[in-house]
Amino acid sequence: MQSKTSFFNGTIFKKNLTRYWPLWGMASFGGALFPLAMLVNLLHGSNAFRMEPLEMREIYFNVLTYAVPVISIVYAILCALAVWGYLYNARSVGMMHTIPVKRDSLFVTNVLSGLTMMAIPYAVTGILVVLVSLAAGSFDGLGTLVTVGGVICDSVCFFGLATLCAMVVGNVVALPAVYALLNFIAVLTDATINLLAQGFIFGLNGSYSGQFEWLSPVVYLMKKVSADCEYGQIKEINNIEQYYYTSKLTSVTLENGYILAIYGAVGVALLVAAYFLYRNRRSESAGDVVSVKALKPVFRYGVAFYAAMLGGRLLYALFVESYDYSDVLRVAPLSVCMFVAGAIGYYAASMLLAKSARVFTKKSLIGLAAVAVGCVAMCITMGYDLLGISRRVPTADSIETLTVYVAENNYNLRGGQDEELIEAVRKMHQTLVNQQERAKQNSKERCFETNGKVAFTYLTLEYRLKSGLNVQRRYNLYLSEDVMALDPDSYDAAIDELVNSPAMRQRRIHADDGAKVTGGWVNSYNGNGFDLNEREAQALLDVLKQDAAEGTWGTYDWFDRDYETAYAVDLDLEFQIVDSDGRTHYDYINIVIWPEMDHLTGKLLELGLAEPEDLISRHEYDERFNWGYYDKDPEVEAMLNAYSKAATETVIGGAYATTSVVVG
């Protein structure tokens, strides 16, 4: 016997598709433009779209990585608005909930309607692409199947989130706003907290850390999922029987493709949660900003929180930041700014929930007091660093990779391979955080208790932990020559010891980190220049390693960066680096050539990349050719002094004049 209970209503399904055909019809038309353009070019004999199946797979995966998430995140909310729009009008929702169709059936039918509307444009585009690729001999079955699976997972994920939002809100305007917020709330919260905390916590930077960006699917997918391509060298022969090598694509895989499946499963879970919310949804909630009673306090205090964070930071920047406060004294004005902005957000949210401006009651003062306590607690926590964030240095066994930027150079270290260097960096970092009060005071005053030279430097540390978390620290530091020389336990000496250690000198030129030198340039001040091929660059790198090992190159002078005694010849080397994720990066380093570097200068002369007359100091070159030293001419110097004296007398006399001097 056929059951009288049905979870699908064909009439409503057809009505949804026919009523909203302009939505999926226009989307299908837009998606069909690309395969139609391919077909037209093929019919005209163009080879622009004739490619190997692996090349087509690479295109599929790139589209799946960068285009599909962006398209789906927008198209999903449009489909959700179409099928759930009746929930936000009292008359419409009353009619739908009085027809002889159970809510279970309504929910399943509308979900299938929305997913079908999402699938139609992708199906039209995909079928046309497959047909055109078959005609061009570019069809790739595996790439097509993986792409179809990825599109399904993206669609289910974003439509599931849009449906959950549709059940939570009761207003057609609130739905896209809440949906957009939930898609990027992790990135927004991370960036906001970092922006607020950077003024208090030593080493914390203003950009978001990415700790929780997996909660923002479109950001995480575009960052983590990619087409991993491998190339091989193919030996070929031309018409005159000369051999040459070309690069050929040999393998294409979807890196981290399992993340798509995880998000697809999350989308199913969101649909299940939305189902239970829909079963218990009150029809009278149509028009409310939040339709679930238990979530109304979350909305009220959530708006207050973000208003306090963003608005408070804005008020602080406008009215307080220009004044010179200590870290502790800045807690009070920031608390006031955050409370003012948070109170505005609190009452604005209350008005939206009550659909009335009459929210300034005695009962609301309790919530306002909670906002005040929250603002003060957050500022005290940051001002006194109660969580110990600035003092936290990852343990050696927890580090997967460590990237260091210091002394104008990048260093990439890997756990398990560079244990000694990682420990040296950790030791330096620990010394710095232990002396952070002196570092902050030096940075604030830009002077020291000594009369020696002072140098400014940037230090950036990025730890990638085995747990998947990233710890980033950026420091703007002032180093003292006297402290560096007299106090071996200072952070000044620790940084100098690290940068000028033999191991770091070798790592600076990628001597032993697996990087491949691919080319470079040699330029002399007299205008001669040479592009280096891979063989020449490798030869120069080999002798540079010898100079670095002997200590004739690589000592970084923090307090004298004029390079007056260096040769008037520059060497630049290009390196190709494959990171732990399989991604390829490029690094360019500039080598300052000193007279003591016998191995490198000898090789430059041997290869004909420099002439003996090029090997003069930069100072000597400037003196010989009078380059930029016009003021050394007695006549010009006398003329400039005369103009300077006249200008001074004019200013003293209360007038203002502009004088142009042309030196020929």
Q: Give me the mean pLDDT over the 199-223 stretch.
A: 84
Q: Give me the mean pLDDT over the 386-409 stretch.
A: 91
Q: Give me the mean pLDDT over the 276-304 stretch.
A: 92
The alpha-helical segments, DSSP class H, found in 169-246 are: 174-197, 217-224
| pTM for the whole structure | 0.77
Q: Which residue in the block uniquely carries the two structure tokens 């497959």?
A: 130
Rg (CA), the chain: 33
Task: Let me know: does 157 contact 217? Beta carbons within 8 Å.
Answer: yes
pLDDT-derived band of residue 17, with 50, 70 and 90 as boundaries? very high
Tell me 230's DSSP state: E
Amino acid at 638: A
pLDDT-derived band of residue 169, with 50, 70 and 90 as boundaries? very high
Evaluate if residue 449 carries a pLDDT over 60.
no
Q: Closest Cα to residue 425, out of 462, 385, 479, 370?
A: 462
pLDDT-derived band of residue 320, with 50, 70 and 90 as boundaries? confident
Pairing of strands 226-237, 584-592: unpaired
Q: Give me the mean pLDDT over the 171-197 stretch.
A: 90
Q: Give me the mean pLDDT over the 390-404 stretch.
A: 92
Evaluate if residue 138 carries a pLDDT over 70.
yes
User: What is residue 658's predicted lDDT score, i.e. its pLDDT?
Assistant: 33
Q: pLDDT of 602-627, one tens digit each?
A: 999 999 898 888 888 888 887 776 54
Task: Let me know: does 474 contact 459? Beta carbons within 8 Å.
Answer: yes
User: What is residue 653's predicted lDDT score, i.e. its pLDDT?
Assistant: 40
Evaluate if residue 321 carries a pLDDT over 60.
yes
Q: Is 473 helix (H, G, I), strand (E, B) or coil?
A: strand
Structure-model confidence comparison of residues 483 and 6, the more confident one: 483
Q: pLDDT of 578-587, one tens digit each?
A: 776 666 778 8
User: What is residue 3's predicted lDDT score, i.e. its pLDDT?
Assistant: 46
Q: State phi, psi for 258 to the nearest 5 degrees.
A: -65, -25
Q: Give me the mean pLDDT over the 284-309 stretch.
A: 93
Contacts of 275 (CB under 8 A, 6+ apart): 104, 107
Q: CA 24, CA 121: separation in Å to the nearest integer?
A: 6
pLDDT-derived band of residue 652, with 50, 70 and 90 as boundaries? very low
Element (H, E) at 539: helix 534-550
Evaluate if residue 98 carries a pLDDT over 90.
no
pLDDT-derived band of residue 660, with 50, 70 and 90 as boundaries? very low
How high does pLDDT run on average in the chain? Answer: 86
pLDDT-derived band of residue 317, with 50, 70 and 90 as boundaries? confident
Evaluate if residue 305 carries a pLDDT over 70.
yes
